[in-house]
Chains A and B, each alone.
Chain A
C-alpha cells in the first residue's frame, strides 16, 4: 500500500514543479547549467558505451550466423535494428539512470540534508520548480544523446564486423539500408522522451523527500537507480506493445 502513497506524492511533486515559476532570468541560467551537467557531461560515457555495444552486437550476430545460405547483409541489418530499437534508447537510459539519476538524487538529497531546500522555501521560492523544472527542460535534449548513441553503435558494429572479417563494407552498408522504416525512429524517439522525463523526475523525487544524513543520501541514490531503471523497463514494455506489436 505504501507504493500508492509514493505514486501520489510523485504526481503532486510534478504538479508543483509546473506551478509558481521562478524568475525567467534565474531559470535560464539553471537550465544551461543542467544541460552542461546532465547532457554535455554524459557525452563521453554514452559515446564509449554505444560504440562498444554496437561492436559486440555485430560480432555476436556474425558468430550466430553460420549458414552460408544466409545473406551477407544480415549482420548490418541486425546491428541496425538492435541498436536503434533497443540498445541505444533503453540500455543507454539504464546507464544514464546510474550516472545522471544518482547525480540528481545525491545533489538534491544533499541540499535537503544541509537545509538548503528549507532555505529556498523560507525565501518564498517554489523549490520544486527551482530544482526540478530545469532538469526536465535540459533533458529534452536527451534525444540528441540517443541519436549519437545510435550513430556510434552502428559505426562500432561496422568497424567490428568489417575489420574482424565477419562482413564486407558493402554488405554491412547494404544491411543497414535494408527494409528501413522511419516509424522505428519515431518509436525510438517517443520512448526516449518518456525515458528523459523519468530520468529527470524519479531521481528528483528520491532526493527531495529523503530524510536523514549522508548515509541516507547514498541509500536514496541506490533506491532511485532501482526505481528509475525499473520504470524505464516497464515503459519500454508498454510503449513497444502499443506501437510495435
Chain B
C-alpha cells in the first residue's frame, strides 16, 4: 500500500501538484486520471522519487520515503517496477537482455537461473520469438509487454505504469490493461497507473483518483465514475460521443 499525505510540487512559481492526499491499495489497479497537463506524470515521478516534493509525505507500506536516505531508497527501488510511456527499453540490448537486466544488477543468480526466470516472465506476458530482437525491431505492443516483463522480473511490491497503452490500437490497449490487472492480482502488488484513456478507466479502474490542475477533485472506482454528479469528472468522462451514448442508453 502507498499513502500520500498532502503532497505539493512546484516548478519555479508554477504549482503542479497541490496538496494531494490518497491511498493506493495493494492487489488493486489504482488509476490516476486527468487531462493532459493535470499533473499525473509529475505526481508519479514524485512517488518514484524522481522529483522531490515541496511539502507532504509519501509512505510505502507505512514507511516514510525519504529521498536523502540513499540506502533505504535504493532498497525500496528494488521493490519497484516501472512501465514508462515510451517503454524506455535499452536500445543497445536485446529483448532478453532488457528483461534480464534487473536480475543481473540485483540478484546473485547464475546465468542459467536468470535465463529461466526471464523465460517465465516472457511466457507470462505472452511474448513469442522476440528474445534476440532489439527494441527497434519489435512493435509498440510488444515493447509494452517487454517493459512489463522487465518491471515484474524481480517480483516487485509496487508497479508504476505511465500511460501504458498510449500509442496502441484499442484491442492491444485492452490486452495490455488486462495483463497489468492480472499481474496485479496474481503477484498481489500495489499498481498505480497514469492514464487519460476512458477505456482503461472502465476496464481496470479498481480505484481512481481524478486530478484537475494538480488538485484531487474526485475519488472512486469504475462503477461510481459513471454516476458521479461532479461536473468536472462528467466533462472528462463524457467528452467522447461513445460515452455520451452509453449514458443515454443507460437513462433509456
Contacts and interface: CB of A to CB of B under 8 A. Distances in A.
Interface in A96-134: 110-111, 114-116, 118-119, 121-125
A122 B86 CA distance: 15
Contacts of A111: 91
B104 A23 contact: yes
A121 B74 CA distance: 9
Nearest to A121: B50
A26 interface: yes
Contacts of A118: 50, 82, 84, 88
Given A20-B70, A118-B50, A119-B82, A125 B88 contact: no
Contacts of B77: 121-124
Interface string B52-84: 000000000000000000100111111010101
A111 B106 CA distance: 21
B48 A124 contact: no
Interface string A192-205: 00000000000000
A22 interface: yes
Nearest to B101: A123
A122 B73 contact: no
B110 to A, nearest CB: 12
Contacts of B106: 123-124
A43 B74 CA distance: 40
A23 B104 CA distance: 9
Contacts of B102: 123
A110 B136 CA distance: 14
A217 to B, nearest CB: 13
Chain A interface bracket (under 10, 10 to 19, 20 to 34, 35 or more): 10 to 19
Given A121-B50, A123-B102, A114 B88 contact: yes
B88 A119 contact: yes
B85 interface: yes
B86 A114 contact: yes
A80 to B, nearest CB: 42
A119 B105 contact: no
B243 interface: no
A124 B73 contact: yes
A116 B78 contact: no
Given A118-B88, A119-B82, A26 B105 contact: yes
Given A23-B104, A123-B102, A124-B73, A115 B48 contact: no
A140 B97 CA distance: 28
B105 A22 contact: yes
A111 B84 CA distance: 13
A20 B75 CA distance: 13
A139 B95 CA distance: 29
Interface in A13-29: 20, 22-23, 25-26
Given A121-B50, A122-B50, A124-B74, A115 B86 contact: yes
B236 interface: no
A25 B89 CA distance: 21
Given A118-B50, A122-B48, A124-B73, A110 B84 contact: no
B90 interface: yes
Contacts of B48: 122
A130 to B, nearest CB: 9
Contact of A122 (B82, B89, B105): B82
5 contacts: A23-B104, A115-B84, A119-B90, A121-B50, A123-B102
**Interface pairs A-B: 8 shortest CB-CB:** A124-B77, A115-B88, A119-B88, A122-B82, A124-B74, A115-B84, A116-B88, A124-B78
Interface of A: 20, 22-23, 25-26, 110-111, 114-116, 118-119, 121-125
